[in-house]
Amino acid sequence: MERGLEFIGFALSASIFAAVFLVGIIVYGGDFSRAFALIAAFLAAASQFVGQDRQHWRISIMLAYGSFALGLFSLFAMIGGK
């Protein structure tokens, strides 16, 4: 598979998974978990925006990790009933 096409496939599948995950938390979660899910979605969007510039790939990765951590935290908050 061509490298560019493979990269687009990974980015698209990650985006679809993140959208389904975060929308599920936003719809079914409480106020506390909803706020953190929205912040995680913002960090994910910022990561994709920064990732368009090849010089700032480290910042993009840090934003993506932050988004993942906040998404996981909001999932645990939703499970905990907040």
The domain limits of the chain are 3-79
Give the total residue count for the chain: 82
What are the angstrom distances between the C-alpha of 49 and each of 24, 57, 58, 60, 72? 23, 10, 13, 8, 21
Question: pLDDT, tens digit, for every residue of 34-81?
Answer: 888 888 888 888 887 787 777 877 888 888 888 888 888 988 988 888
Rounded-to-integer distance, Cα 47 and Cα 40, Å: 10
* Verdict on whether the full-model pTM lies above 0.85: no
Higher pLDDT, residue 50 or 8 = 50
